[in-house]
Structure 1
Amino acid sequence: MSGTSNSQKDQITTSQTAVMVINYMLGAGILTLPRTMVEAAKTPDVWISILISGTIILASGWIIVKLCSRFQGQTLFQFLPEITGRAIAMLISILVISYFLAISAFEIRIMAETGFYLLEGTPSWAIVMTFMWIGLYLILGGVSCLSRLYEIILPITLVFFLIAILLSSRIFDIDHLRPVLGSGITPVLKGIKPSLLSFTGYEIMLVALAYMKNQGKANKAMIAGVTVPVVIYLITVIMVIGGLSINGLEKRTWPTLDLMRSFEVQGLIFERFESLLLVIWIMQIFSTFTVTHYAASLGWSQMFNRNFRPFVFAMLPVIYLIAMVPKDINQVFNLGDMFGNVSVYLFGGVPLILLFVSILRKKGAKPE
């Protein structure tokens, strides 16, 4: 695949684009989101924070679609020089690529940490490198191969997730969510920030829109891609708080897994569901890792107008080294918080500025 043009054969449908966004967003965040939000807000009303965050993400995604629709058939890395000039475009591109690399490394490290539940005693490097090489094979197939795999992974994830959540309803206590807004609106606003990393994913439209067969439906793909994860995160937070209470989950590293551990169903093939859910969710983490690895490699190839494949290989050791920088799980979570803060400005503010500049300078075509 060349970095100069987007192959006509390597295209994706509207539904595949939505699925790609969904799989990107449904990464490691669901395993920790209830704890991080409750730690920040100290209230069971964090489900309201998720609704507010989802609305903000939809607005940010709409801005990205409007921007990319002015340069149909081009990714962010291709049309940036036309808006800002080459020097500024290179700076922004490097920031975006660095972000994708960091998210890719973060997800692969989380995969190693959660992998200890299933592969106790296995060295983290063995877990990480196995998934990285499998991901490499997939990425070399291009965006269409990625999207086809995601179409297989997503239904499996949703089915097992819904089964696990429904079974956990036996320990659900609605009183753990009361009173609504008992501490006012301020704690709810504090709960918005921790959810930002979990909602990252809409920014992949900066790349994916260029490969859509019907780019006029990009907004529909983005809305569907954001809405499904918002609903899933909302259900997860409500069920975890209802099952464990806010006092019971603040000190839990993986509260969603602990919820699955809190009950068992006798007579079924799987009497305990946390291992099954973790296996399924590792596929989602793998999805986030591959799509961000792909986006970072594509960014380098299009920046330097070079072939795509060498950059895919070159990014492997970089991602591995970044993933191994945090010394413990607390540093990993701190790194995640930092990425969430960066994403607010990088994908919330910068695309809006670029959209205004492109309109003022009359760059790109007006979307139909």
Structure 2
Amino acid sequence: MSQLGKDPQHNTFSLWQMTSLITSTLIGVGVLTLPRTTTEKMFEAGWMAPILGSVLTFFAIWLIAVLSRRFPGLTFIQYSRIVWGGHEQSRLGFWLSLPWIMMFLIALFVTTAITSRIFGEVVVTAVLMDTPLEVIIVSMFVLAVILCLHEIDTLARVNEILFPLILFPILFIALASFQKAEWNNILPLIRVPWETIITGAFETNFSFQGYEIMLIFFAFAHENTGKVKAGFYGIGISVFVYTLIVLAGIVVFGHEELQRVTWPTLELVKSTQVPGLILERLESAFLAVWVAAVFTTVANGYYAVIYGLRQLLKKGMLFQRIASIVLIFPLFFVAIGPQNIVELFKMTSLIGYTTVWISVVSPLIHWLIMLYRDRGRKREKGSDAHG
């Protein structure tokens, strides 16, 4: 295929960096609410929700990786116009692909804003009670902008460094919380209809939001890097962490108690004691790790939006730097849009459904059109050969 439009930085990310990027993006604000949201409909079986809900996520990341392998070195912004218009009708392809590209960028933009708002709500509630919410949100945005001022290889290195610093402490805290486990709390294993289980699993989508950034970042994988493998590793690690946290919440508190707590994972950490009194207040360490996790989620999402705009408008690094500063203002107003925590949680549910459209339906349509075009070319070659 044509090499036109490839970024000079392609072949940048290793398998480890791709896995780090996906996992660091997925593990974020969803960690704090997942034990409550999964047990709302599935009760004791809530720990199954991340496992069942990940089926769609695995399929989506496979689709995204397949599209990226078909167009190596190109992002979704670049190959979408090729899918819709081919190499011959690039102008038509641009206009037909524009709605899909804008839906992707806007959805990712809103998701990033709402993630920052949830982060602010938790910090104001649990740590900095006298600090205005707006200050917390802007602080996170400033960090994201600083990362956007650099090229994409810097993003890869930041995620690579923070990944183990996020993953291992969260795993340690989750395992330590099993000291107070009452395993009877997960019995009976299944007492709700399968329809309810499927619905509950589907509603975990917000916790898996973020992997759609690979529509941009898979383009920068090293040529020997298995994109499907990186995607499966990243999501598999996230599923394991989520399942462990939800299971810990259920066996410690029970599903009824989880429904009365706004941030159940934070309460779980508060009730956990580390043997040997290494840390007297474990939630302080957890929140420090969680801040890093949310930063990678917000920064990766915002970087993908800015970089996508840069490619859509065919601009350079100067545009990326200016846009990252300018767009922080609408991002802030979207973040403070929900008037209270109830509206915020409704917005997260809506985002979960939107994510399915952006990360599953859109790539699926692109893939089907690509298959149709490839089949048409084969027919033309066959008829020419017989002619």
TM range (shorter): over 0.9
- Measured against aligned partners, the alpha-carbon deviations of 1:249-280 in whole angstroms (never above 9, x if no partner) come to 10211000111122334752422212221221
Report the counterpart of residue 102 of structure 2 in structure 1: 94
Distance across 2 between alignment mates of 1:269 and 1:37:
32
SS in 2 for 1:280: helix
Give the root-mean-square deviation of aligned CA atoms.
1.9
Report the counterpart of residue 198 of structure 1 in structure 2: 207
Distance across 2 between alignment mates of 1:217 and 1:272:
41
TM (normalized to structure 1)? 0.93
**Post-superposition offset of 1:9:** 7.3
Q: Which amino acid aligns with 2:64?
A: I
**Post-superposition offset of 1:310:** 2.3
TM (normalized to structure 2)? 0.89
1:103 aligns with 2:111: yes
SS in 2 for 1:192: helix
Note closer, same or farther for the CA distance 1:265–1:13 as it changes in structure 2 (3 Å cut): closer
**Post-superposition offset of 1:215:** 5.7
1:347 aligns with 2:359: yes
Distance across 1 between alignment mates of 2:154 and 2:9:
14
SS in 2 for 1:305: coil
Report the counterpart of residue 345 of structure 2 in structure 1: 333
Distance across 2 between alignment mates of 1:350 and 1:235:
31
**Post-superposition offset of 1:49:** 2.3
**Post-superposition offset of 1:216:** 5.1
Between structure 1 and structure 2, the one with the greater Rg is: 2
1:161 aligns with 2:170: yes
Distance across 1 between alignment mates of 2:275 and 2:219:
50
SS in 1 for 2:374: coil
Report 1:1-368 matches (<5 A).
5-8=6-9, 11-41=12-42, 43-84=43-84, 85-116=93-124, 117-214=126-223, 217-265=226-274, 267-307=276-316, 308-362=320-374
**Post-superposition offset of 1:82:** 1.2
Q: Which amino acid aligns with 2:181?
A: F
Note closer, same or farther for the CA distance 1:273–1:319 as it changes in structure 2 (3 Å cut): same
Distance across 1 between alignment mates of 2:104 and 2:10:
26
Q: Which amino acid aligns with 2:66?
A: K
Count of matched residue pairs? 361
Distance across 2 between alignment mates of 1:265 and 1:65:
41
- Measured against aligned partners, the alpha-carbon deviations of 1:41-66 in whole angstroms (never above 9, x if no partner) come to 3x211222221111221111111111
Is contact 1:33–1:194 with CA below 8 Å preserved after alignment?
no
Kindly, what percent of the aligned residue pairs are identical? 26
SS in 2 for 1:362: helix
Is contact 1:12–1:143 with CA below 8 Å preserved after alignment?
no
Is contact 1:77–1:93 with CA below 8 Å preserved after alignment?
yes
- Measured against aligned partners, the alpha-carbon deviations of 1:86-131 in whole angstroms (never above 9, x if no partner) come to 2221111110000111111011111211112222201112112122
Distance across 1 between alignment mates of 2:172 and 2:141:
30
Is contact 1:69–1:215 with CA below 8 Å preserved after alignment?
no
Q: Which runs of 5+ in 1 are unaligned?
A: none
SS in 1 for 2:219: helix
Q: Which runs of 5+ in 2 are unaligned?
A: 85-92, 379-387
Q: Which amino acid aligns with 1:313?
A: I
Distance across 2 between alignment mates of 1:178 and 1:355:
43
Write 1 or 2 for the structure with the bigger share of helix: 2
Is contact 1:72–1:215 with CA below 8 Å preserved after alignment?
no
Distance across 2 between alignment mates of 1:265 and 1:352:
46
Q: Which amino acid aligns with 2:51?
A: L
**Post-superposition offset of 1:143:** 2.1
